[in-house]
Amino acid sequence: MAQRRSLLPREYGAYAELLFPLTTGLALGRPTAAAVLFAAAAVAWFLMHEPFAVLTGVRGARAREILSARARARLRMLLGGGAVAGLAAVLFADPDARLAVLVPISCGVALAPAVLRGRQKTLGAEIVLIAALSGMVLPVGLAGGVEWSLAWLAAAVWFVSFVLGTVTVHGIKAAHKQTFGTRWTPYVPVVLAPMLVAIAALAAAAGAVPPAIVAALLPSSVVAVVFSVLRVHPRRLRIVGWSLVTGNVVTLVILLAA
């Protein structure tokens, strides 16, 4: 039975952090070869996490002993496939998209030390991961003909939305576990969400960003504030997670409609 254990990533919230930005980039532009290849490379490198976690002992000594052969083969396949897709994407992409891919790559490089030390679940590391995944809107979108300004705005919306969700989850855990975070962590979303929406609203009033950007930030902001105020128990995190995903769907619709 252990041999049949899945080697897919177990951090389910990260799937949303990967798929919503990729969907946004592809849907805002045209599904060119470069755009699709950038997305394929991102998926391949994302799927490398679980085999890597097994091989480095993050999933425990027993898992490494039983699954190491499968994990090593899967890691090689994904690393090779991701490299081929990424290089092909760079080859087919225009100069703007080639430049833009440096954003997620730089974030990935910055994240590497935390992953190697097994500290990828810290708030700082998760925010860097969010920056990398949200940043995939840039090369994917630009490769499909999306304008720089729109691609940056979409990436920023996803970054803010996912950071709010992540800080909310950390706050819920900190409120019920003294060793997790600080005593101020549960209050961060209540202050951060309205502040970010207010900044976006001021930017929209000044004509710096479209009003739709403010609307796109509201779903995650509302979910973050509501669950932070309610002080839900960590056992309810599944409900929180699905509420955040529902908010992400609304955000996606707003971005694409705008």
- For the chain, the domains span 1-146, 147-258
Rounded to whole angstroms, the Cα distance separating 148 from 79 reads 29
Per-residue pLDDT band at 2 (split at 50, 70, 90): very low
Mean predicted lDDT score pLDDT of the chain: 91
Angle at 205 between CA 225 and CA 224, to 5 degrees: 10
Chain segment 3-45, per-residue pLDDT in tens: 467 888 877 788 999 999 999 999 999 999 999 999 999 999 9
**Encoded tokens for 50:** 């679980």
- 36: Cβ contacts below 8 Å, ≥ 6 apart: 26
Chain segment 183-227, per-residue pLDDT in tens: 677 789 999 999 999 999 999 999 999 999 999 999 999 999 999
Handedness of CA 224, 229, 234, 235 (dihedral sign): negative
Identify whether the C-beta of residue 109 lies closer than 8 Å to the C-beta of residue 125.
no
Long-range pairs of 52-60 with CB within 8 A, sequence gap ≥ 24: 52/115, 54/7, 56/116, 56/118, 58/118
Chain segment 71-103, per-residue pLDDT in tens: 899 999 999 999 999 999 999 999 999 999 999
**Encoded tokens for 225:** 């504030």
How far CA 245 is from CA of 17, 87, 103, 106, 251, in Å, comes to 10, 32, 24, 26, 10
